């Protein structure tokens, strides 16, 4: 799914007429010496799918991320065609194309219930009336368990609060130009125009919250802790950076940190597209195509998603992650 999504992002301007949405800078993963074997397995998997990925030496890292502290780094890799995309522009671009093809997108209207008869979806109730439909896709993220319960489906999803900082420096030459997942210090960062978006990663103790009642600002203690880790790893930037913003948002987390896709037994026309556990955006373009295949053809055909069904949890067929938590 990630491979397909990257191709769609590469074609984004051609598809949507929106330019500068995807910055294909490459993506770097940093880890300990103990993580090197898993990185090697991932590189082999990548190459089998036609993805260009290689190990990086410490010297390579120091050239690509000037001023990085090499202390403790025992492994690093680069995925050359990775990068980062503007989430707002991505959403708006896809929505504009959908509208041009006859899709009606309604904002500011709440779904209040799903109705089913004879084991099949018949309609969606909303705050502005009822919509008759034989198909409903639950793509409500942290609110998806509530929607699933409307038709008697139990989703094994927990909601976590995740924080990020927005950093800025007057010297643009100090800002790292590559998005980095740092498994050694449990941090990540990516360029965001003149700024740097930074957060912390797994493994860590999760903060479980109510999706309808949580603090969407970042904590002062979080800022201090994250900045200390950044100052250790990228001191040239972090020592000269200032925090200009921050926020907290939500993950919808499954037991194995992988999504739940497709239908369920007993409720025809109900489809899950939930449980993204923090890595849904990068898969979004491909998942849109896959869900369309399920709706139109009854099954996904371009990529096999059978292992991502809700039934895997009852069968004990959980998936694994490459490193930890949502580092799929």
In a domain, 100, yes or no: no
Task: Provide the mean pLDDT of the chain.
Answer: 95
Listed residues 217, 236, 253: the one ending a domain: 253
In a domain, 266, yes or no: yes
In a domain, 15, yes or no: no
Both 178 and 310 in a single domain?
Answer: no
Q: Are 317 and 323 in contact (CB under 8 A)?
A: no
In a domain, 88, yes or no: no
Both 169 and 304 in a single domain?
Answer: no
Domains of the chain: total: 2
**Percent of the chain at pLDDT exceeding 70:** 98
Give the whole-angstrom CA distance, residue 139 versus residue 263. Answer: 12
Listed residues 218, 238, 253: the one ending a domain: 253
Instruction: List 132's β-bridge partners, or say none.
Output: 123
Both 143 and 232 in a single domain?
Answer: no
Both 163 and 249 in a single domain?
Answer: yes
Both 65 and 179 in a single domain?
Answer: yes
In a domain, 14, yes or no: no
Range of the domain at 118: 106-157+255-315
The tens digit of pLDDT for each residue in 176-230 reads 999 999 999 999 999 988 899 999 988 889 999 999 999 999 999 999 999 999 9
Q: Where are the strands (E) in 175-304, listed by range?
A: 180-182, 187-192, 195-200, 242-253, 260-263, 270-274
298, 308, 206: which is closest to 251 by C-alpha?
A: 206
* CATH classification of the domain holding 118: 3.50.50.60
Both 173 and 199 in a single domain?
Answer: yes
What's the pLDDT at 25? Answer: 95
Both 196 and 247 in a single domain?
Answer: yes
Both 163 and 309 in a single domain?
Answer: no
Both 285 and 249 in a single domain?
Answer: no
Both 228 and 166 in a single domain?
Answer: yes
* Greatest Cα pair distance in the chain: 64
Q: Are 16 and 98 in contact (CB under 8 A)?
A: no
Both 260 and 233 in a single domain?
Answer: no
Q: 3-class SS at 145?
A: helix
Listed residues 237, 253, 269: the one ending a domain: 253
Which pLDDT band holds residue 67 (cuts at 50, 70, 90)?
Answer: very high
The tens digit of pLDDT for each residue in 229-268 reads 999 999 999 999 999 999 999 999 999 999 999 999 999 9
């Amino acid at each position: 799914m990630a491979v397909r999504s990257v191709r769609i992002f590469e074609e984004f301007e051609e598809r949507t007429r929106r330019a500068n949405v995807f910055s294909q800078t490459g993506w770097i993963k940093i880890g300990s010496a103990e993580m090197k074997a898993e990185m090697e397995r991932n590189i082999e998997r990548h190459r089998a799918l036609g993805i260009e990925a290689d190990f990086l030496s410490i010297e390579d890292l120091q050239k690509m991320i000037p001023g990085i502290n090499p202390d403790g780094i025992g492994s690093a890799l680069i995925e050359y065609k990775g990068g980062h995309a503007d989430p707002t522009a991505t959403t708006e671009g896809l929505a504009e194309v959908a509208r041009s093809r006859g899709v009606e997108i309604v904002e500011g209207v709440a779904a209040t219930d799903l109705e089913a008869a004879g084991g099949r979806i018949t309609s969606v109730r909303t705050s502005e009336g009822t919509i008759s439909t034989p198909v409903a896709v639950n793509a409500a993220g942290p609110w998806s368990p509530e929607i699933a319960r409307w038709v008697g489906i139990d989703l094994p999803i927990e909601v976590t609060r995740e924080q990020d900082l927005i950093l800025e420096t007057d010297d643009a030459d100090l800002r790292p130009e590559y998005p980095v997942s740092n498994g050694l210090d449990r941090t990540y960062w990516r360029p965001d125009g003149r700024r740097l978006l930074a957060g912390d990663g797994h493994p860590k103790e999760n903060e479980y919250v109510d999706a309808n009642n949580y603090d969407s600002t970042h904590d002062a203690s979080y800022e201090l802790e994250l900045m200390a880790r950044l100052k250790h790893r990228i001191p040239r930037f972090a020592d000269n950076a200032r925090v200009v913003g921050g926020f907290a948002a939500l993950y919808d987390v499954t037991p194995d940190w992988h999504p739940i896709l497709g239908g369920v037994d007993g409720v025809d026309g109900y489809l899950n597209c939930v449980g993204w556990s923090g890595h849904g955006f990068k898969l979004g373009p491909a998942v849109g195509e896959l869900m369309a295949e399920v709706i139109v053809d009854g099954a996904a055909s371009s990529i096999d998603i059978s292992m991502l069904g809700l039934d895997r949890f009852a069968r004990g067929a959980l998936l694994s992650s490459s490193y930890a938590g949502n580092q799929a």
